[in-house]
Amino acid sequence: MKSIISSIWALCLAAVICILPSCSADTYDSVDPNGRPDASEIDATVTVDQETNTYTLTLNNKGYYPVWTVNVGKKPKVSSQNNLTGVIAEAGTYQVEVRMGNRNGISEGSKILEIVIENTIGGDDFTGFKYDTEFNLWKNCEITEVSYWFANNDWGQIGDPSIDIEKEGFSFILPAEMGTQQWQGQVHINTNLSTNSATNYDFSIFLRAAADHPGVTVKLQDMTNDEVYYCAERVKLEAGKGKAFFLSDVKGLDIANIQLCLDFGGGEPGTEVQVSNIVIKDHANDDGTELPASVEFDDARNLFAGFSVVNFTTWFANNDWDSSAITQPAINFNSEGYDFVMPAGVGSQQWQGQVHMWTNVAAYESKRYDFCCTLLCSDDAPSVTIKVQKGDSLGDDTADDEVFFNVNVVALKANVPYTFFFEDLPGIETSNIQICCDFGGTPEGAEVSLSNIHLQEHL
């Protein structure tokens, strides 16, 4: 999805030539090379939420699309998404180049804007399940004993580090003599917390280290038998950035006394590590946490990188299921998806605001897949349906509708990007993946976008 800017230009121009004419009753014989936008007319703004280091890039020129080049990190980020948002962790001033496009092409010139980040932050937005709720069994349990086992690379035990263990969390400095191997920096926290096999559980813990760590081991287990455990995972940490490890809806074990075993072996001596936000709860008790994808979406593996739209339709109807009563919206396609404005009179029911997009992306029954995309709406949209399905007939055969990865309904909050994803689903056999979204019930005049489409083979 992120590519060199020349590719983005070519894709956007192709989209203008091949796609946009089908968005309305108007037709165009050819593009006008003299009708390319003038860069001097670009009206773009940058806003920054300094509390979260979140920036938003907006092109204010109506009827045009932007091409942003955000110079941050090892590679510039290139996007044609309007109201583009991102997070920059480190304080500083970062340049953004913006070009402007229309059906005739993209401006030769550009404007340079600046993103000013006042403070440095670190870590994931997601810190795990919510600690301070009545559902958190860890918060209400008793720590009965704490023990340590730190060793050098010869597996000779060294002195215990200075740690003040609290249920709310703790931090300490990795000792100089600690070895570089797993299990050479163990902390065992015994509790009176019990679990049972009749209940499914959620668990999370938030970790941070001042330097890179190859993997802090997190093992939630039976205090009396370390062969009975919920997890024994190594969590890799980047310097200064926090990371949440979590389990969701796992079958319970009959354990009388839970022990949390953490191992910091392999970390750089002298590094401060922090542990916080430990939560164990009954999965049936919803604390309002929205879980992120547990897989990593790798741009280099994105099957939608450089995708083409081979067909699209809309079907917007009123509450009487009459589509002729609705002026169908013009769908504006770009290299990451599309955007449009909700028309008047659309009904409040599911399937009364459909956008169907057929692509040149294939999938196979023999493989498994991960998928994500971003939905954004300028108003609250209480019920948006997303369906990723077979599309080989390009809309001529309704049998395609019965072969799909998913059908999910999500609620959007005004101006808050929503990342929809699924992980490790069995593949379907199709040469033309169709993405069907339904926006029935979304308010008139709302600006809606679908972007950052990503499909990859599950590893």
Instruction: pLDDT band for 3, please (50, 70, 90 cuts).
Output: very low
Question: Quick check: 34 pLDDT over 90?
Answer: no
Contacts of 374 (CB under 8 A, 6+ apart): 417, 418, 419, 420, 449, 450, 451, 452
pLDDT tens, 379-430? 999 999 999 999 999 999 999 999 999 999 999 999 989 999 999 999 999 9
pLDDT of residue 176: 86
Burial class (CB in 10 A: 0-12, 13-18, 19+), 78: buried
pLDDT tens, 154-200? 999 999 988 889 898 888 889 989 999 999 999 999 999 999 999 99
CA distance 249 to 357: 34
pLDDT of residue 1: 35
Q: What is the mean pLDDT of residues 28-54?
A: 82
Among the listed residues 25, 23, 66, the one whose alpha carbon sits nearest the alpha carbon of residue 43: 66
Burial class (CB in 10 A: 0-12, 13-18, 19+), 243: buried
CA distance 309 to 346: 25
Among the listed residues 352, 319, 337, the one whose alpha carbon sits nearest the alpha carbon of residue 453: 337
- How many percent of the chain have pLDDT more than 90? 69
Q: What is the mean pLDDT of residues 205-220?
A: 91
pLDDT of residue 87: 61
User: Per DSSP, what are the bridge partners of residue 92?
Assistant: 117
pLDDT of residue 136: 98
* Contact yes or no for 110/97 (Cβ under 8 A): yes
* Contact yes or no for 46/114 (Cβ under 8 A): yes
- The amino acid at 458: H
Instruction: pLDDT band for 363, please (50, 70, 90 cuts).
Output: very high
Q: What is the mean pLDDT of residues 266-289?
A: 91
Instruction: pLDDT band for 121, please (50, 70, 90 cuts).
Output: low
pLDDT of residue 397: 92
Question: Quick check: 28 pLDDT over 60?
Answer: no
The dihedral of CA 15, 346, 385, 125: what is its sign? positive
Question: Quick check: 371 pLDDT over 70?
Answer: yes
Instruction: pLDDT band for 377, please (50, 70, 90 cuts).
Output: very high
pLDDT tens, 301-319? 999 999 999 999 999 999 9
Instruction: pLDDT band for 257, please (50, 70, 90 cuts).
Output: very high
Question: Quick check: 63 pLDDT over 60?
Answer: yes
